[in-house]
A = this chain, B = another copy of it.
């Protein structure tokens, strides 16, 4: 069982663009970060349900396929689940409707207790109010021996990295300069010293950097 993180970041390390708005809930520059990832065949199949065979099949697609493979449980922050957007709705069930794309147990970090929410497709949200270490440990108990993903948002990923909980970090670095937003690396001084680091350039120009223990 390994704890894994995958993120799209800019060359200046921004993982969450600035200025989210109703029109651009992930920030106006989100497309600049994920364009090549969203162009992969795997993303089109797994997220859009487009099985027409369109989409790229090179290095970016290999990483996209690995992203979806072998995950037995997931950890996410309260913001990613949507609690910050709907703080007064104790029955909020996440953004994903009746078919959340996880299909495994998802441990959601919160400050208050909530009852678990189960879906027919195997997704089960369970809430953890005692911090990232507990959430990752509980995810490991529920993953059936498969890997655990810390999915986001950036603050949750950063806290997992700072706590030394992550076994494999893969960043897809798109060669753009966003200038503003939430940066991944701040204060993670000498993080590299705990990992072997390898890099690979995709046909798209994206640089895939992998930190592995």
Mark A residues whose CB is within 8 Å of B: 11-13, 175-180, 183, 185-192, 197-201, 205, 207, 209
**Contacts A/B (CB < 8 Å), 7 sampled:** A12-B13, A12-B183, A13-B13, A175-B197, A176-B192, A179-B185, A199-B201
How far, in angstroms, from A114 to B11 measured CA to CA in the complex?
39
By a CB distance below 8 angstroms, the chain B residues around A209 are 11, 175, 207
> Whole-angstrom distance from the CB of A19 to the nearest CB of chain B?
12
> Whole-angstrom distance from the CB of A62 to the nearest CB of chain B?
15
Determine whether the beta carbon of B186 is less than 8 Å from that of A179: yes
How far, in angstroms, from A179 to B184 measured CA to CA in the complex?
11
How far, in angstroms, from A176 to B200 measured CA to CA in the complex?
15
How far, in angstroms, from A189 to B14 measured CA to CA in the complex?
11
How far, in angstroms, from A164 to B205 measured CA to CA in the complex?
23
Determine whether the beta carbon of A175 is less than 8 Å from that of B189: no
Q: Which of B12, B178, B180, B188 contacts A177 (CB 8 A)?
A: B188
Determine whether the beta carbon of A177 is less than 8 Å from that of B190: yes
By a CB distance below 8 angstroms, the chain B residues around A185 are 11-12, 177, 179
